[in-house]
C-alpha cells in the first residue's frame, strides 16, 4: 500500500486553484502550482561532436507531455545550458549562441513546449550557465565572477577558475538573450534565469564568490548587474507577453553570503527590472540547504522563513508586481495552503517525479499529501535526487514512476544506483556516458487518457 504524508486539519484547497495573473507580462497561470525544475539529462550527448549535444529527445518530450497533463499552473524545464562546452552535466538541453530558429534542435524545443502546455499550463524554460560549478572531466578551466575555485564535493572535482572578462560577460548576456528569443519563437511562455544553487549568476550575486572591484562587484546593485543586463537584453528580443523569472537561493543569504537586508534589496532590484515571478529555493554544491530549524520543519517548507523576511520588500500581496513562489519540502495540501499566507504560489519538485499529476490530484481532492519515500530515500538528499531522476527516466520511456514508498523497490534501486556509479567511475574522463540510473525492477506502462 502506498504511504503518504498526512495533512494536518482541513485546508481550503480552493486557494491553490485560484489563477495567478502576472502584472508585467499580462499572462495568467491557471492555478498556484509550479512544477519546479529538475535535472532530467535526457537530451543528446556526444563527448567529441559539440553540435550533437543538448538536443531534446523524444523521451524528454514525453516527460513534459506527462507533466503537461498533470494539472500544474506552471511547468518549468530543467537546466537549459547556453554553451555547448560549459554544461552542468552530460545530457543537459542546450541552446548555443547563434542557434538558428529552424532545424532538428529547434523543432525538438518546439515539440517540448507544445507538450508541456497542451492542457493549459504555462511552460517556462529554465536557463543557466554553470560557471565554476562544472566537473573537471567536462572542461579544464571554468569562468566565474572571480577566481574562486570550487573544492571537490560529492565525489566530483572542479577545474581551476578565472574571473570572467568584460567581453565574456557581454557574450554571456547576449547568449542568455538569444536563448530567450529562441524559447519565445519555439512557443515557450517565458524564461527563468537560474541564479541559485551555486551556478554562474549566483556566483555573481554572492560575496563568497564575487570579489570583483568593477561595475559587477561590491554593492547588491553591482553584483546583480549581469542579471539586470540579461533581462534588459531579453526584453529587446522577445514578445511583450514573454514571462521573466529568476530563481534565487536562500543559502547564499547566510554566513558569508548576502544578508537579509541584501536579499530585500535584491528582490526590489529584480522587481524594477521587470521580473514577473521569483522562485525561492536553496542549496549549492558546497552547502545544501537541508539543515533547517524545527520551526521551519513544522511549516514544512525549508525556505519559507527566508521568504517571510524578504517578500514584504516587494510590497503588499495585492500590489506587488513581482510574484513569489517557494520550493522546498512542501508535501501536504495543508502546508501548501498555509504557504500562500506568505507567497503567491508553491513549487513542487521531487514529488512531481513520483506523481506527475500531483497538482491535479490535490485540486480534485483525490489526495491530500504526496507519496512518502521509504528510508533512506526520504532522508538522504543524494539518494532522493537520484531516485527522482530515475523516475523521470522511467516516465520518459512511457512507464509509470516506480513507488519509492515500497521498500522492495528502494532496495532494488539502491543496487541500480551502485551499478550506475561504477559505470560512471569506469567511464572516467572519457564522458561517453550520460543520464541517470535505470531502475531494473518491474515497471508498469503508462496508459494514455
Give per-10-residue mean pLDDT for the chain (449 aa).
90 97 97 98 98 99 99 98 96 98 99 98 99 95 97 89 99 99 99 95 94 98 98 98 93 64 93 97 48 48 78 91 93 94 96 99 97 93 95 98 98 98 93 96 90
User: Cα separation of 337 and 48, whole Å?
Assistant: 49
pTM of the model: 0.95
Burial 133-144 (b: 16+ CB within 10 A, else e): bbbbbbbeebbb
User: Cα separation of 59 and 43, whole Å?
Assistant: 8
**Which pLDDT does position 309 carry in this prediction?**
86
Homologous superfamily, domain 14-372: Aldolase class I (3.20.20.70)
**Residue 68, all three cell numbers:** 503537461
Q: Where are the domains of the chain?
A: 14-372, 374-449
**Residue 115, all three cell numbers:** 507538450
Q: How far is CA 271 from the centre of its chain?
A: 20
Residue with cell 485540486: 363
HSE toward the beta carbon, residue 193, CA cutoff 13 A: 32
In three-state secondary structure terms, 20 is strand
Angle at 17 between CA 339 and CA 114, to 5 degrees: 110
23: closest CA among 274, 192, 228, 246? 274
**Which pLDDT does position 408 carry in this prediction?**
98
Q: What is the DSSP letter of 281?
A: E
User: Residue 30 in contact with residue 345, Cβ under 8 Å?
Assistant: no
- 6-32 pLDDT, tens digit per residue, is 988 889 999 999 999 999 999 999 999
User: Residue 44 in contact with residue 96, Cβ under 8 Å?
Assistant: no
Q: Is the peptide bond before 376 cis (omega within 30 degrees of 0)?
A: yes
Q: How far is CA 89 from the centre of its chain?
A: 14
Phi, psi dihedrals of residue 108, rounded to the nearest 5°: -65, -40
Query: What string of H, E and C letters represents the secondary structure of 386-414?
Result: HHHHHHHHHHHCCECCCCCCCHHHHHHHH
Angle between helices 58-68 and 381-396 (to 10 degrees): 100
Phi, psi dihedrals of residue 332, rounded to the nearest 5°: -125, 155
**Residue 31, all three cell numbers:** 492555478
- 383-435 pLDDT, tens digit per residue, is 999 999 999 999 999 999 999 999 999 999 999 999 999 999 999 999 999 99
Amino acid at each position: 500500500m502506498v504511504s503518504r504524508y498526512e495533512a494536518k486539519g482541513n485546508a481550503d484547497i480552493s486557494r491553490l486553484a485560484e489563477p495567478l495573473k502576472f502584472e508585467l507580462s499580462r499572462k495568467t497561470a491557471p492555478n498556484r502550482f509550479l512544477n519546479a525544475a529538475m535535472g532530467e539529462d535526457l537530451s543528446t550527448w556526444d563527448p567529441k561532436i559539440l553540435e550533437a549535444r543538448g538536443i531534446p529527445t523524444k523521451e524528454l518530450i514525453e516527460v513534459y507531455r506527462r507533466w503537461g497533463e498533470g494539472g500544474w499552473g506552471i511547468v518549468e524545464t530543467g537546466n537549459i545550458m547556453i554553451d555547448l562546452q560549459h554544461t552542468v552535466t552530460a545530457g543537459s538541453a542546450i541552446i548555443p549562441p547563434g542557434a538558428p530558429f529552424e532545424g532538428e534542435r529547434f523543432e525538438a524545443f518546439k515539440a517540448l513546449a507544445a507538450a508541456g502546455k497542451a492542457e493549459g499550463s504555462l511552460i517556462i524554460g529554465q536557463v543557466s550557465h554553470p560557471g565554476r560549478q562544472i566537473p573537471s572531466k567536462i572542461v579544464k578551466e571554468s569562468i566565474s565572477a572571480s577566481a574562486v575555485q570550487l573544492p571537490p564535493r560529492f565525489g566530483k572535482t572542479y577545474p581551476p577558475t578565472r574571473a570572467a572578462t568584460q567581453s565574456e560577460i557581454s557574450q554571456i548576456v547576449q547568449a542568455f538573450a538569444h536563448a530567450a528569443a529562441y524559447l519565445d519563437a519555439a512557443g515557450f511562455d517565458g524564461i527563468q534565469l537560474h541564479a541559485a544553487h551555486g551556478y554562474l549568476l549566483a556566483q555573481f550575486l554572492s560575496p563568497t564568490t564575487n570579489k570583483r572591484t568593477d561595475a559587477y562587484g561590491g554593492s547588491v546593485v553591482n553584483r546583480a548587474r549581469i542579471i539586470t543586463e540579461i533581462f534588459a537584453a531579453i526584453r529587446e528580443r522577445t514578445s511583450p507577453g514573454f514571462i521573466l523569472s529568476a530563481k534565487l537561493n536562500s543559502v547564499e543569504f547566510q554566513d558569508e553570503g548576502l544578508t537579509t537586508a541584501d536579499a530585500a534589496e535584491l528582490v526590489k532590484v529584480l522587481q524594477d527590472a521587470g521580473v514577473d515571478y521569483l522562485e525561492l529555493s536553496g542549496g549549492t554544491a558546497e552547502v545544501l540547504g537541508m539543515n533547517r530549524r524545527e520551526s521551519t520543519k513544522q511549516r514544512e517548507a525549508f525556505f519559507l522563513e527566508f521568504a517571510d523576511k524578504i517578500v514584504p520588500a516587494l510590497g503588499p500581496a495585492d500590489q506587488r508586481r513581482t510574484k513569489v513562489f517557494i520550493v522546498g519540502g512542501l508535501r501536504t495540501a495543508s502546508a501548501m495552503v498555509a504557504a500562500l499566507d506568505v507567497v503567491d504560489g508553491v513549487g513542487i519538485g521531487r514529488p512531481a517525479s513520483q506523481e506527475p499529476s500531483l497538482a491535479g490530484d490535490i485540486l480534485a481532492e483525490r489526495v491530500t499529501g504526496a507519496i512518502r519515500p521509504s528510508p533512506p530515500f526520504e532522508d538522504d538528499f543524494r539518494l532522493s535526487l537520484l531516485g527522482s531522476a530515475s523516475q523521470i527516466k522511467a516516465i520518459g520511456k512511457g512507464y509509470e514512476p516506480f513507488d519509492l514508498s515500497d521498500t522492495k523497490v528502494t532496495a532494488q534501486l539502491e543496487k541500480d544506483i551502485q551499478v550506475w556509479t561504477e559505470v560512471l567511475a569506469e567511464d572516467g574522463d572519457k564522458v561517453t556516458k550520460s543520464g541517470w540510473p535505470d531502475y531494473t525492477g518491474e515497471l508498469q506502462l503508462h496508459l494514455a487518457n
